[in-house]
A and B are shown apart, each in its own frame.
Chain A
């Protein structure tokens, strides 16, 4: 989980870094979720044309955790080992 709530802007340089981190995490079989993006930053990112492919976002840390838990459960379900992640 990457918390960017303290960033007052995200340019393509930072966008590329986030994308790289997400890519590396995927290779390591981990999920990445970016949380806390400010509304003005989101508006600017869209106009800039950065879509951050492969990077999931959530409103805040709490919602980010929910997303990650769900993803973990789904993967464990697919593996079919019957375990239930709380």
Chain B
């Protein structure tokens, strides 16, 4: 698997969530994603960027355009240095939230992508990696 292109963006304010969405749309279009695939990836990115901001106190996202043989994909890695998630299984349950959201962001974005990885350490932060292939 080859990383064709990569970039890192800051998520420190609500406006940045919008910028992340726009960047993900542009990258998905450049990779030749269908409209539905673009929408799924943008929505997942929006959820995770919002999580990094609201629960992680801000963070970064790394965008990577991937090529694996003739397959092309987009990988996004969201990282924050927030309080971390004590119980990841619980956090991945539909409808579970520690805030005032709907509790669908994390579990929902997992359904919208092909690959989903989450690593979190209490007191250190959280990293979520999602990949969608064309």
Contact = CB atoms under 8 A, between A and B. Distances in A.
With a 10 A CB-CB cut-off, give which of A13, A15, A50 has the most chain B CB atoms: A13
B21 A12 contact: no
A8 B112 contact: no
B105 to A, nearest CB: 5
Interface string B86-108: 00000000100000011011011
Q: By DSSP majority rule, is chain A's interface helix, strand, loop, or mixed? A: helix
A12 B105 contact: yes
Q: By DSSP majority rule, is chain B's interface helix, strand, loop, or mixed? A: helix
A72 B38 CA distance: 39
A84 B36 CA distance: 43
Given A9-B46, A44-B112, A15 B35 contact: no
Interface in A1-46: 8-13, 15-16, 38-41, 43-44
Interface residues of B, number: 22
Contacts of A41: 39
Contacts of B36: 39-40, 43-44
B127 interface: no
B112 A12 contact: no
Contact of A9 (B21, B94, B108): B21
Given A9-B46, A48-B112, A49-B94, 12 more contacts: A8-B42, A9-B21, A9-B42, A11-B47, A15-B102, A39-B36, A40-B38, A43-B36, A44-B112, A47-B112, A48-B111, A50-B102
Interface of B: 21, 25, 35-36, 38-40, 42-43, 46-47, 50, 94, 101-102, 104-105, 107-109, 111-112
